[in-house]
Amino acid sequence: MVKTSLPLTGFFFLLLISSSFAADTGRLFLTVVNHCPFTVWPAIQPNAGHPVLEKGGFALPTNTHRSFSPPTTHWSGRIWGRTGCSHYNGKFSCVTGDCGNRLECNGLGGATPASLAQFDLHHGGHRDLSSYGVSLVDGFNVPMTVTPHEGRGVCPVVGCREDLLRTCPAHLQLRSGHGGHVVACKSGCEAFRTDELCCRNHYNSPQTCRASSHSLFFKHACPSTMTFAHDSPSLMHDCSSPRELKVIFCH
């Protein structure tokens, strides 16, 4: 029998490749998917002290996706979709979710109303928890869900699949231009700006901040979403070591 041996350099090369592959398969990926029949411009804003991902925003044509890795240490932030974006006279702007007339938000927040996916990744020590949820506290502009893959524990699909632009009450509608079509559905806070609806001042506590008829419109349509500032904390789900978290527009 003839034995063949791998050259030492070849052995170390294979070892390096296999180690890199093993490390990569352990990484968490965020994937943004657009199933809407129109382009969506996802935006990403980190919470204070965390790095900006993917320069904070990009275009995502219909039936395409984009995957990227957050830091392997603790990261928290939010993702939302901008709609109706265009370049005009050298200026970029979006009808909903705009972040200061920029394609790449670079840490800026977005204009409301907007559907939001919220994340708190790599916390909980050895349990390596990634928490996620979908919020309609700031209103709605596009259907959105978060779908985890290969996590341990209770890792449900959450969000809002309904197109609430079709059913948004007249007093919450945001229309394009003067009397144009409905482009977003405002929260009660944005529509009326009262302390009670915005859970401000005296109403800024779990005891005094309550659901309203406006937030119940969103809750009845999409029960797994947060719909007012002190909604149930259980709507943020702790999933242990997921392989991927997918944000899907128009799921």
Q: Each residue of 110-147: pLDDT tens digit? A: 999 999 999 999 998 888 999 999 999 999 999 999 99
- Identify whether 3 is part of a domain: no
- Confidence at 197, pLDDT banded by 50, 70, 90: very high
Number of domains in the chain: 1
Identify whether 207 is part of a domain: yes
**Total Cβ atoms within 10 A of residue 119:** 22
Nearest to 62 by CA among 97, 32, 104: 32
> For residue 147, which of 242, 55, 10 has the smallest C-alpha distance?
242
CA distance 180 to 26: 48
Residue 192 tokens read as: 């009326």
Q: Find the mean pLDDT for residues 192-213.
A: 97
What is the C-alpha separation between 131 and 76, in angstroms, rounded?
A: 9
Report yes or no on 149 lying in a domain. yes
In the sheet that holds 144-149, the strands lie side by side as 64-68, 29-34, 244-249, 144-149, 158-160
Domain assignment present for residue 9? The answer is: no
Let me know how long the chain is. Answer: 251
Residue 12 lies in a domain: no
CATH code of the domain in which 236 resides:
2.60.110.10
Average pLDDT, the chain: 91
Could you tell me which residues come within 8 angstroms of residue 155 by beta carbon, excluding any fewer than 6 positions away? 148, 237, 239, 242
Residue 149: the pLDDT is 96
- pTM equals 0.88
Q: Average pLDDT of 94-100? A: 98
Residue 76 is assigned to a structural domain of this protein? yes
Lookup: tokens for 245: 């978290």
Contacts of 245 (CB under 8 A, 6+ apart): 28, 29, 30, 31, 119, 130, 132, 146, 147, 148, 149, 239
- Does residue 11 sit within a domain? no
Across 179-185, average pLDDT:
94
- Structural domain for 60, as ranges: 29-249
pLDDT given at position 11: 40
d(C-alpha 119, C-alpha 244), whole Å: 12
Cα 43 to Cα 249: distance, rounded to the nearest angstrom: 12
Least confident window among 21-35, 41-55, 109-123, 140-154: 21-35
- Phi/psi zone of residue 150: left (φ > 0), alpha (ψ -120 to 50 degrees), beta? left
User: Do the domain assignments include residue 21?
Assistant: no
Q: How confident is the model at residue 233 (pLDDT cuts 50, 70, 90)?
A: confident
Mean pLDDT confidence for 90-103: 96
